[in-house]
């Protein structure tokens, strides 16, 4: 199998290295010719081809930034006319729709859910028109120790709003708010948060910017933070005689303005469920039909 990897960044190099045992030769193309040359030298029998190559390949993997992936599908579909096209951009809905329009052969979307230096790990997989070539790629990823699991584009892209856009925003917000703290003062909560911040900031800023533009999780997180702050201000003491509130008080319903999941499991008229944090603070979710669909626990 002849493999073309478009994009010689961190993910493109990882793809070329990981799939090399299951293909005959690997070619790389990149807007930066030197990056393509460096990547090719790191792969056995690797070579560089120009971005506008018309050479046919058995499989073309698009390891390009999220904003460029739909155009790349149209540009490289002819190179994979008799083979397969796969993207690893990190978003699935739009690339799969573009491949359905342009691809003549097999196509699929794969998303390694980790930064390449932290692999192997879980890889989300959505088949479009999968066949022998796509199966070979999946086997190659699995042979390298990755857990490849099948999902849908909608399920994947919806999850990325939370696990990528929302999580990255939360961690980076903590890092900005905390600043430089003497490590001796870290708590069991702040220490892992600081480690997570180091993990996030070791990546490429452009990648995180692309993720935030592609997914809406950051907006929901900001709305949740505002709602939580408002709930804090409305704490009422349960112990009227001792004048204490804070962790021993009761949080009223938190009304987040961000769009949330339908609470079909909590119809109007049923007493809303209450969640208790480790400190004892209770957060009550409003029932469907109230002013908010989402209750946010601290």
Q: What is the pLDDT of residue 102?
A: 96
Mean pLDDT estimate for the chain: 77
Give the pLDDT confidence of 183-201 residue by residue, as tens digits.
888 889 888 888 888 777 7
Sign (positive or negative) of CA dihedral 200, 204, 209, 212: negative
Give the residue, 1 or 176, on which the prediction is more confident.
Answer: 1
What gap in Å lies between CA 11 and CA 17, rounded to an integer?
10
CATH architecture of the domain 2-151 equals 3-Layer(aba) Sandwich (3.40)
Give the residue, 177 or 228, on which the prediction is more confident.
Answer: 177
Q: What is the pLDDT of residue 161?
A: 83
Share of the chain above pLDDT 90, in %: 47
Q: What is the pLDDT of residue 172?
A: 77
Give the pLDDT confidence of 31-46 residue by residue, as tens digits.
999 999 999 998 878 9
In what side-by-side order are the strands of the sheet with 122-129?
46-48, 25-29, 2-6, 59-62, 84-87, 106-112, 122-129, 147-150
Q: Residue 108 is encoded by which pair of tokens?
A: 């699929």
Confidence band (pLDDT; 50, 70, 90) for 222?
low
Residue 49 has pLDDT above 90, yes or no: yes
Q: What is the pLDDT of residue 43?
A: 84
Confidence band (pLDDT; 50, 70, 90) for 57?
very high
Residue 257 has pLDDT above 50, yes or no: no
Q: What is the pLDDT of residue 273?
A: 43
The alpha carbon torsion through 105, 110, 116, 121 (nearest 10 deg) reads: -130
Residue 286 has pLDDT above 50, yes or no: no
Strand, coil or helix: 237 = coil
Confidence band (pLDDT; 50, 70, 90) for 225?
low
Helices (H), 26-166: 33-41, 69-76, 93-102, 132-143, 153-160
Q: What is the pLDDT of residue 278?
A: 39
Share of the chain above pLDDT 70, in %: 67
Q: What is the pLDDT of residue 98?
A: 96
Mean pLDDT of 226-250: 52
Strands 25-29 and 2-6: parallel
Question: Model-level pTM?
Answer: 0.67
Q: What is the pLDDT of residue 209?
A: 63
Give the residue, 117 or 297, on which the prediction is more confident.
Answer: 117
Which residue in this structure is represented by tokens 């609470």? 263
The alpha carbon torsion through 79, 81, 84, 88 (nearest 10 deg) reads: 50
Nearest-5° Cα angle at 93, 88 to 94: 85
Domain boundaries, the chain: 2-151, 154-215, 238-298
Q: 249 with 281: CB under 8 angstroms? A: yes
Exposed / middle / buried, residue 12 (Cβ in 10 Å: 0-12, 13-18, 19+)? buried
Phi and psi at residue 289, in whole multiples of 5°?
A: 100, -15
Residue 260 has pLDDT above 70, yes or no: no
Strand, coil or helix: 30 = coil
Residue 289 has pLDDT above 50, yes or no: no
Mean pLDDT of 168-173: 77
């Amino acid at each position: 199998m002849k493999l073309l990897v478009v994009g010689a960044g961190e993910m493109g190099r990882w793809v070329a290295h990981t799939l090399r045992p299951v293909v005959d030769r690997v070619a790389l193309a990149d807007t930066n010719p030197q990056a393509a040359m460096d990547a090719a030298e790191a792969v056995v029998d690797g070579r560089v081809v120009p971005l506008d190559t018309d050479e046919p390949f058995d499989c073309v993997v698009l390891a390009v930034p999220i904003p460029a992936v739909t155009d790349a599908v149209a540009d490289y579909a002819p190179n994979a006319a008799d083979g397969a096209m796969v993207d690893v951009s990190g978003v699935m809905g739009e690339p799969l729709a573009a491949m359905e329009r342009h691809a003549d052969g097999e196509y699929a979307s794969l998303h390694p859910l980790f930064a390449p230096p932290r692999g192997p790990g879980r890889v989300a997989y959505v088949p479009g028109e999968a066949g022998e070539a796509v199966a070979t790629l999946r086997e190659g990823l699995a042979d390298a120790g990755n857990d490849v699991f099948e999902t849908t584009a909608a399920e994947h892209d919806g999850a990325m709003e939370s696990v990528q856009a929302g999580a990255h925003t939360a961690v980076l917000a903590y890092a900005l708010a905390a600043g430089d703290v003497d490590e001796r003062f870290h708590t069991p909560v702040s220490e892992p948060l600081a480690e997570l911040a180091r993990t996030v900031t070791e990546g490429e800023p452009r990648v995180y910017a692309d993720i935030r533009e592609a997914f809406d999780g950051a907006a929901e997180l900001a709305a949740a933070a505002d709602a939580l702050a408002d709930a804090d201000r409305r704490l009422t003491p349960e112990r009227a005689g001792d004048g204490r509130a804070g962790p021993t008080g009761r949080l009223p319903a938190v009304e987040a303005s961000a769009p949330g999941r339908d609470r079909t499991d909590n119809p109007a008229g049923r007493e809303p469920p209450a969640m208790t944090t480790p400190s004892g603070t209770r957060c009550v979710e409003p029932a469907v039909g109230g002013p908010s669909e989402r209750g946010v626990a601290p």
